Amino acid sequence: MSQLAPRIHLASRSPRRRELLTQIGVQFDTLIFRDGNRADKETDETPLPDENPIDYVQRVARAKAEHGWRCVGWRKLLAQPVLSADTTLEFEGEVIGKPVDAADAGRILARLAGKTHRVLTAVAVCQDQRIETALSISEVRFSALDATAIRRYVDSGEPMDKAGAYGIQGRAGMFVEHLAGSYTGVMGLPLFETTQLLRRFGYPL
């Protein structure tokens, strides 16, 4: 009898994270949380008062992984590791999340234009009573952007579901003047750190 290939649960809706896991050959099942008015309070991404960006992104990633593991039990799913991640931007000490609307996306991009910001991505893996996390920090410098470039990008719709109102793997790649760190971390799942975590949980990579 052949042995089943190892798999994990991915606690994320992000298509970029699915693509990146597939890129390195990880087999996974997507674990979906409720959102909107019925969203699980355990996965609330609202920063706490005076919470610094590193603590924030690690807390959210950890909370998603722990809640994902609880969902595995409640839904009677296979007891395979749960992987989650959270990405945020830090600009001038402030957490910059996803834009609430097109006008907000334009304001965020105008602030980032011509300056350097940090992209923080925390990854967490949870199984049974064990949870481990890893953190990727990258510095990204944008070129100067005029109002026309910002408007065209916002009109494309690409910024709307992304931390910092841009996706480096999409059209916003043309804004990036310099990157120091992890390209996949800026995308939303740093593959080096993710691989190390999964190996520690026995996933064969």
Residue 52 belongs to a domain: yes
CB contact set of 20 (below 8 Å; sequence gap of 6+)? 184, 187, 188, 189, 191, 194
Q: Could you tell me the two tokens for 36?
A: 């909107």
pLDDT tens-digit map of 40-85: 666 778 888 889 999 999 999 999 999 999 999 999 999 999 999 9
Q: Which residue has the tokens 């959102």?
A: 35
Alpha-carbon distance 138 to 158, whole Å? Answer: 21
Under the banding of pLDDT at 50, 70 and 90, the label for residue 4 is: confident
Residue 97 belongs to a domain: yes
Residue 146 annotated as catalytic: no
Number of independent structural domains in the chain: 1
Q: Could you tell me the two tokens for 127?
A: 């199984």
Find the domain containing 146 and state its range. Answer: 8-200
Is the confidence at residue 37, as pLDDT, over 50? no
Residue 126: which H helix or E strand, with range? strand 116-127
Residue 148 belongs to a domain: yes
Residue 2 belongs to a domain: no
DSSP-based three-state secondary structure for 27: coil
Q: Which of 40, 50, 86, 155 is catalytic?
A: 86
CATH number of the structural domain spanning residue 23: 3.90.950.10
Q: Which residue has the tokens 């996803």?
A: 98
More confident residue, 124 or 32: 124
